[in-house]
Amino acid sequence: MSNLETEPSEVVIGTVDDCAMEILQPRDVPLGGPRAMEVRRTLPQRARSLIGAWCFVDHYGPDLVGAGQGKPGMTVPPHPHTGLQTVSWLFAGEIEHRDSTGAHAMVRPGELNLMTAGSGIQHSEVSTPATTMLHGAQLWVALPDSHRHTTPHFEHYAPTPVLHDGATVHVFLGSLIGETSTATAYTPLVGAQIDIPAGVTTRIPVDRTFEHGILVDSGDLSVEGAGSVPVDNLAYLSIGRDELVLAAGETAVCAVLIGGEPLGESIVMWWNFIGRSHDEIVAFRAQWQAEVVATDGTSDSARFGRVEGYPGRPLPAPEMPNVRLRARD
């Protein structure tokens, strides 16, 4: 998914002091014009920009979409990415994905679509005509400097749901509870959906070198006895834990667990680009505008390639801010 804000803020990611636990509240972000689809964004924030290498968390729905439903669904034209992986995870609905590697795939509930942008990619995302309910999460993972220029590629993985200590777990990235995803991770990390029946407490063993985030999609969730985490909020947990204790209250819980070793690098994230300096971001934007937007997406871009089959124009980049983007440790 693109960041469609017309005035995206600079995000400088460096070191943030760890704490035992904190709650990151969402902010509403419209993806586009007046009838735009809205998402709830919990990462990045001024207080915390990274959880492991996870650098972006959007959560949307459940929304009734399509003809007569009042909401248009998802229509995101071809747009660029650099230096990151996009992680698409649905609870309901279906999204058609096309990208400049030639990948054409459907995003469906319980199945991971992982796109590695590497040196540069472009893609489109459109909810299918048959979709009447759209509900899911879109996450980004920052690539470390050693892999951020890797060749772009696309992967699909359908994890087998596993019962663990009363909960049902889908491990879609990394390893957890003895399950390992086949999808490529360039830093030690984990991503999983965890469903907990009402009244059940589950203990999830985790890597003590990881920091973790728990996005509550629905239900009454208590984390480590510290009280309920509101729906749509993201609970951050610092390193040094051997397990996470998650308890569902009177209503069943659906949550997304993310985590990983702290990235340990400073990066600059602006619009849909991740780089290491202001000048690098400026160059990415200029190349996108000159090679893709100026040609209405009909020519191959040296960096971003071309998306085949999307019936419309690519998304222009916003104007750069009037100040230099700064990377700080």
Q: What is the pLDDT along the chain (329 residues), one digit of tens a residue?
A: 556 555 555 444 443 344 568 999 999 998 765 566 889 999 998 889 999 999 999 999 999 998 777 678 899 999 999 999 999 999 999 999 999 999 999 999 999 999 999 999 999 999 999 999 999 999 999 999 999 999 999 999 999 999 999 999 999 999 999 999 999 999 999 999 999 999 999 999 999 999 999 999 999 999 988 879 999 999 999 999 999 999 999 999 999 999 999 999 999 999 999 999 999 999 999 999 999 999 999 999 999 999 999 999 999 999 999 998 876 43
User: First and final CA of the chain: distance in angstroms?
Assistant: 28
Which pLDDT belongs to residue 16?
Answer: 37
**The overall pTM is greater than 0.85:** yes
Which pLDDT belongs to residue 15?
Answer: 37
Torsion of CA 329, 145, 210, 48, to 10 degrees: 40
DSSP assignment of 113-140: EEEE-TT-EEEEEEE-TT-SEEEEEEEE
Which pLDDT belongs to residue 21?
Answer: 80
- Segments making up each domain of the chain, as ranges: 11-260
Which pLDDT belongs to residue 2?
Answer: 54
Report how far apart, in Å, the C-alpha atoms of 174 and of each of 72, 157, 166, 218, 234 are: 34, 12, 21, 23, 20
Which pLDDT belongs to residue 17?
Answer: 40
Which pLDDT belongs to residue 116?
Answer: 98
Which pLDDT belongs to residue 14?
Answer: 40
Asked whether 97 and 123 are in contact (CB, 8 A), the reply is yes
Which pLDDT belongs to residue 67?
Answer: 74
Amino acid at 158: A
Other Cβ atoms less than 10 A from the Cβ of 132: the count is 16
Of the options 2.60.120.10, 2.60.120.20, 1.10.3720.10, 3.40.50.12280, the CATH number for the domain spanning 11-260 = 2.60.120.10
